[in-house]
Amino acid sequence: MSGGGRSSLALVAFLSVLMLHMAAGISGAGGKRPVPTAARPWPPAPHAVVVSPQKPDECRRGRGAAECYTSIGKALAEAGRLVPKVKHRFVLLIKTGEYREQVNITRRNVVLLGEGRGNTIITGNLSNLTGTGMYMTATVTDGFLAQNLTIRNEAGPRGKQAVALRSNSNRTVVFGCSIEGYEDTLYAENGAQVYLDTDIYGTVDFVFGNARAVFQRCRIRVREPLPGKHNVISAQGCKVQQQDSELGAVVHADGWVPWDKNHVIKETTESVKYLEFNNTGPGADTSRRVNWTGVQVIHDAAQVAKYSIDGAYKPSEQAHVEKSGFPSRSRTTTRSPAGSSGSGSSLPAASASIVVVDRHPLASLPACYYLSACLLL
């Protein structure tokens, strides 16, 4: 876990940084891709547009006069003509297939509805190594909704910063998706964002940003790092709550690590707020945690209530999720993509996990501000 440093230091970042010392026997790059998951019905979309890897005439066959495009970018370019009023949702029904394109969504209220994570895949390999800064690798804007698809950056662990999804969207809702990358996978940049039943894969600083984010029933999966490196899920200047979680032996006894261990600054030791409550497992021993003002072990359930999911999940955010029409529960099942291991698993309602990927018993940790109980996978 970490604090301090990075460009967002002066703002309120939203994620804990968990320093995970990887045990021996880490899986190689030959892991399996996610098992495709069945799409769940979404409320009727009067302005839905179909995107399919088929030729347009084949795509339209059997769909009457439905608009049909062979790329997401082409469909978005036509959004103004197809749905002239910004207040209307522009729904893209994205059929099974792999879409190799950089998707930049500048229109409000866009919905990407796939046919299952592992079935509908939006992928690319832009990264800092290829000369593409993280601000340009993937972007969405206000009112963005996504369901049942995979968003992937294939730059690999040597690609350095390589964002799979950058959301500058207030009122983002991502449900039943898989967001896959290595360094800087998910950039939750600003606004209120909610991630439900979603898998997030990465190695270094792979969930970060200045958003006020809620992660419910999510799996955060740590992939194999470069040789001699450890994995960090980033945060700085933040408030983090860990409670009712199973913490495995892979969690370092210090619990938290500063961005620059040679220059530990006040922002790290005092301004951050790292709270632990009612955790179990070998990693839950707090006797050797770093001696920082901002790191606290809470023993009073009444005190932790104000940091809990019930207290932190704002009514406006709850209303937005309900208005989106996304179901509040998911029964999807996934398996790990390449570079990770682990069998298929399902999470019950009100749980989330960070999974350390190796061949030993997997450990789970909460991801950020507002998480309910975590599950050992």
The alpha carbon of 258 is separated from its chain's Cα centroid by a whole number of angstroms, namely 22
Structure tokens at 292: 């920082």
Q: Is the dihedral of CA 96, 146, 375, 280 positive or negative?
A: positive
Q: How far apart are the first and last CA of the chain?
A: 20
Q: Give the pairing type, strands 199-202 and 68-69.
A: unpaired
Q: Is 205 among the catalytic positions?
A: yes
Q: Is 73 helix (H, G, I), strand (E, B) or coil?
A: helix
- For residue 374, give Cα distances in angstroms to 248, 314, 335: 12, 20, 18
**Residue of 142, 184, 197, 205 with catalytic role:** 205
In this structure, the chain runs to a length of 377
For residue 214, what is the enclosing H or E element? strand 212-216
- The residues, ordered by sequence, that sit 6+ positions from 322 with a Cβ below 8 Å of its Cβ are none
- Report how far residue 155's alpha carbon sits from residue 329's, in angstroms, rounded to the nearest whole number: 32
Kindly state the helix (H) or strand (E) to which residue 76 belongs, with its residue range: helix 72-77
Tokens (6 digits) for 322 = 């309900």
Q: How far is CA 304 from CA 261, 311, 331, in A?
A: 29, 9, 29
| Residue 111 near residue 45, CB atoms below 8 Å | yes
Q: Which residues contact 327 (CB under 8 A, 6 or more apart)?
A: 40, 175
Residue 27 burial by Cβ neighbours in a 10 Å radius (0-12, 13-18, 19+): middle
How far apart are alpha carbons 260 and 255 in whole angstroms?
15
Residue reference for tokens 């996990």: 353
Catalytic residues: 205
